Amino acid sequence: MKRILLAGATGYLGSYIAKELQKRDYHVRVIVRSKKKLNEKNIEVNEILESEITQAESIKGCCDTVDVVISTIGITKQKDGLTYMDVDFRANMNLLQQAKQSGVKKFIYVSVLNGEILKHLKICEAKEMFVEQLKKSGLDYCIIRPNGFFSDMSDFYNMAQKGRIYLFGNGELKGNPIHGEDLAVVCADSVEKSYEEIEVGGPETLTQNEIAMTAFKVAGKKPKITHLPDWIRISILKIVKIFTVSKVYGPIEFFLTVMATDMLAPEYGKHTLDEYFTKLRGMDE
């Protein structure tokens, strides 16, 4: 039985990966900074290590007896005062260092779709710096490049519920976001598969207008979409870059950039946005 160390199990994607790995009968060790958060998500694993992955000393030996490491560690909405370099790059480097020392065979890392061409963005710069180090590490590796997650599509539903969705441009840019449960299958498959890099998105490619209309339909609201001219997006980008620190503008910079790009990856999975928004509506009721 393969022994897997999963870092990121308390997060959106990581929690689905933990459940998928358990289904497949792997021996699963997780490294988390809060056991309480893990328990709240009803995740059952074989071993739990509670430590700070950003502090190299605290994770010494975490990879001992492990065959494969999977990391979804990265800043999304965390407000710990740390930068992408501290977490997406250095924390993952700490883990890679441990993996090498313990003779781990393979390291699976979740980056982002188009990360290589978006390296000028703070978040992608840190992730791709790690990718470069991972490729040079001598370990077998798999870099997973997913499209946007359903968790980020909640903003569409929340705006729809309030009665109006704001989009930049004409709303005809396309994307195929993916549900964490579908992506978790890809991540778990990569334990055995030999591909080194994989791009993946959800099963439906939709325009931003179509996503908005789905959100209105599920919310039961009359569709009202405001298409903001692109100069507003560009101005916001410039202003936040001048007046805020990287911790603040990083997520805004990423969001405003991908909203102005077709984000297309090979289609995979079964979960639809309609079904995801319906679940969100159920939680409100």
Ligand X SMILES: NC(=O)c1ccc[n+]([C@@H]2O[C@H](COP(=O)([O-])OP(=O)(O)OC[C@H]3O[C@@H](n4cnc5c(N)ncnc54)[C@H](OP(=O)(O)O)[C@@H]3O)[C@@H](O)[C@H]2O)c1
In this structure, are strands 206-207 and 174-175 parallel, antiparallel, or unpaired?
antiparallel
Min dist CB 250 to ligand X, Å, is 10
Min dist CB 120 to ligand X, Å, is 16
Min dist CB 79 to ligand X, Å, is 10
Is 181 or 223 the residue whose CB approaches ligand X more closely?
181
Is 80 or 262 the residue whose CB approaches ligand X more closely?
80
Rounded Cα–Cα distance for residues 101 and 134 (Å): 14
Is 34 or 235 the residue whose CB approaches ligand X more closely?
34
Min dist CB 132 to ligand X, Å, is 16
Residues in the chain: 285
Residues linked to residue 27 through DSSP beta bridges, in sequence order: 3
Residues that bind ligand X (CB under 6 A): 8, 10-14, 33-34, 37, 53-54, 72-78, 80, 82, 87, 91, 110, 112, 146, 148-149, 151-152
Structural Rg of the chain based on CA atoms? 19
Min dist CB 222 to ligand X, Å, is 28
Is 67 or 181 the residue whose CB approaches ligand X more closely?
181
Min dist CB 119 to ligand X, Å, is 14
Spell out the residues 6+ positions from residue 101 whose beta carbon is closer than 8 angstroms to its own.
63
Min dist CB 124 to ligand X, Å, is 9
**According to the 3-state scheme, what is the secondary structure of the chain?**
CCEEEEECCCCHHHHHHHHHHHHCCCEEEEEECCHHHHHHCCCCCCEEEECCCCCHHHHCCCCCCCCEEEECCCCCCCCCCCCHHHHHHHHHHHHHHHHHHCCCCEEEEECCCCCCCCCCCHHHHHHHHHHHHHHHCCCEEEEEEECCEHHHHHHHHHHHHHCCEEEECCCCCEECCECHHHHHHHHHHCCCCCCCEEEEECCCCEEHHHHHHHHHHHHCCCCCEEEECHHHHHHHHHHHHHHCCHHHHHHHHHHHHHCCCCECCCECCCCCHHHHHHHHHHHHC
Min dist CB 58 to ligand X, Å, is 10
Is 81 or 220 the residue whose CB approaches ligand X more closely?
81
Token duo for residue 74: 């990265």
